[in-house]
Structure 1
């Protein structure tokens, strides 16, 4: 394949990865909206449309394999293809976490801990994802470090939320024995929601880490 055509295929890959990220971010936003409004119809839509994200992942995975097979890529191109492959893997997993939010919405019937601001955590992780993908699009090494730094704030928000749940449980009085199981189910679901949003932040850091490696051959953020 002529070099110019190969470079065009590489740019198409970048555009397709960015498109996948837009779809995944939309699903995550939908999951957050469904959770906040207890919108079962929207939650089911998030779950049903996960198949689209999975198909995008499989298509892009094949594109990466084809690009590696078509022509022996030089070092920079090889890092780009490898980074793109790792990034679509993280995006697919974020899509799965969005689906989890849809499932939690279908299970939830009440707000047992209204003081826990899940939406704030979700907004922070969405911003991290957007910043990480912008870094990938613009090959911005400094932005990669900024995403990694932002993860510390998200981790702190998640820790505060989990601590608030435990603290409120300890302070509660007069819970009937028959209500304990239902309460613990609600607690478990809320803690899983917080954990999944924290994992979205982790995947955003992974994207930034792979982008940094792609741009500067620097594996400092990879863990």
Structure 2
């Protein structure tokens, strides 16, 4: 293959990875909106549209494989191709998490009063967007900045999970005390509903934390691509 065509394929690969990132973030934002508002139609659109992300992933996986097998890139070109393959893998997993998140919203929207789902979700999504932008621009400082934000996201997720469990325990204690005093009888449907709300909230928080982890993975691979530096990988 002429050198010009080879370089163009590398440039096209980077552009297509960024385009996949845009698609995934579009689906992710829709998933957060669906969970926050309880929009069943939007949730269904996110879930049923996941095939488009999967198709894009398979196309780019094939392109990476062909470049590795047929062109045998070395040095920075090799890092670009291998990093791109890792980045699309993380993006595909963010899309999978988006399908989970889309289905967590209750009938009237929201997950649990103790969780600021929108704020945490937006922060995790911004980390992914910034990591993809760092990959596109070849910006090592931006890569490190994304990784540095992960501890804060993890802490917010931890606090949210603890708040959900604490709220459940307090509500259960109140029900027990009310039952003992004869003020009310246990309501199995109400308890089941509360447990379902807690379960969905905890799963959602876990998945948001994982979105942040994938953002760090993308930033780590981008940094390796840019500077041959694996400090964020291990």
TM-score, normalised with respect to structure 2: 0.91
Show CA shifts across 1:80-108 (max 9, x none): 10000000000000000000012223xx2
Find the counterpart in structure 2 of residue 114 from structure 1. 113
Q: RMSD of the alignment, in Å?
A: 1.3
Show CA shifts across 1:122-161 (max 9, x none): 0101110111011100111111110001111111110110
The size of the alignment, in residue pairs, is 221
Find the counterpart in structure 2 of residue 129 from structure 1. 128
* Contact 2:143-2:219 at 8 Å conserved across structures: yes
SS at match of 1:104: coil
Q: Flag the structure with larger Rg.
A: 2
Alignment partner of 2:207 out of 196, 206, 213:
196
Distance 1:147 1:163, change over 3 A: same
Find the counterpart in structure 1 of residue 37 from structure 2. 37
SS at match of 2:103: helix
Q: Give the distance between the partners of 2:134 and 2:22, measured in 1 at CA.
A: 14
Q: Give the distance between the partners of 1:71 and 1:129, measured in 2 at CA.
A: 30
Find the counterpart in structure 1 of residue 163 from structure 2. 164
What is the deviation of 1:183? Answer: 1.6
Structure 1 runs of 4+ off > 3 angstroms? none
TM-score, normalised with respect to structure 1: 0.95
Runs of 5+ consecutive residues of structure 1 not aligned to the other structure: none
- Tell whether 2:81 aligns with 1:81: yes
What is the deviation of 1:182? Answer: 2.4
SS at match of 1:132: helix
Q: Give the distance between the partners of 2:97 and 2:230, measured in 1 at CA.
A: 26
What is the deviation of 1:180? Answer: 2.2
